[in-house]
Amino acid sequence: MLRFTAQRLTHAVMVILVVTLVTHIGLFYFGDPFKTTPDEKMLPPETQQMLRERFGTDKPFLARYLIYLKNLFTGEFGVDFEQRRPVGELIAHVAPHTAGLAVLAILISLTVGVLAGALAAVRPGTALDAVITTTTITLLCLPVFVVALVFRQELSGLRLFGVELFPALPHAFGVDVPWLREVLLPAITLALVDIAFVARMMRASMLDVLAADYLRTARAKGLSERRVVLRHGMRNAIIPVVNHAGLAIGALMGGAVIVETIFQYDGVGFLFIKSLHDANRPVVIAIALLGAIAFVLLIALVDLISAYLDPRIRVT
């Protein structure tokens, strides 16, 4: 397991270096990213010089790239054009919001999706299997932005027995909305379509595992069907779902751009769209790069978890 871990981490570091190198070349060799403001006015010469010194654009390629890596690992991403605040400070403020949204959405989709897929696989051909299959296929046909728009229109500000379940959008000025109430509707929106994918994946994987020889052997030894399914079947059937969860978290950590924008959720995706609209280049650069690095690291983590669940993966 230690050798497998070292190999996967080495691969992740190599991919991160390639990503940073390509990003560095694209940013600083195809135009000057620090020449103009969002309204296309020239930045003051002293501001341009300060940004170039911080990113080392006046130095040779190798020295420039090493400075770029040093800035990356120390959080020196430059200064925001709009508020003149450090970019790292802006991202640090919104990153926990997106992380909470991603984790909550994945927990909802995994809990419901795994349970639905396992029930459909254990009772194939029944009415329950037909209902779950029909529902998941329908959900897979729904674009995320359509679900988000419908939920915002119909559910924002919804009250039940005098209690407001979801906050009204747009938020009233000066109103402080508790985090859980604010994040719940975007999380459900993200999870809804993913639930269908997880359920379909879990059902297919579970059907393959339930027909495996080692489960027949377990039944022949006299183990109860419940123990066979829960302890031996689901442990192996859930491996593809774990892989999907890691990829989904990686994508969401980069910012659920559409959902955060529609629900005006103060996360990385919403900040990215605002910065892109305002041509706020330092913020766009930092979010794009950090999103790619987070995605690579989460894929490596998923590989390690899969290897732990199935020792056969370690020898591949």
First and final CA of the chain: distance in angstroms?
12
What CA–CA distance (Å, rounded) separates 92 from 115?
35
Phi-psi map region of 17: left, alpha, beta (phi>0 left; psi -120 to 50 alpha): alpha
| DSSP one-letter code for 42 | B
pLDDT for res 178: 74
What CA–CA distance (Å, rounded) separates 105 from 112?
11
Q: So what's the architecture of 95-266 in CATH?
A: Orthogonal Bundle (1.10)
Domain residue limits, the chain = 2-74, 95-266
pLDDT for res 271: 86
pLDDT for res 209: 76
* pTM value > 0.95: no
- At 126, which amino acid appears? T
Q: How does DSSP assign 272-313, residue by residue?
A: HHHHHHTT-HHHHHHHHHHHHHHHHHHHHHHHHHHHHH-GGG
pLDDT tens string 28-85? 665 555 655 545 556 677 776 776 666 666 677 777 778 777 777 777 776 666 666 7
pLDDT beneath 50, residues of the chain: 38, 255
- At 76, which amino acid appears? E
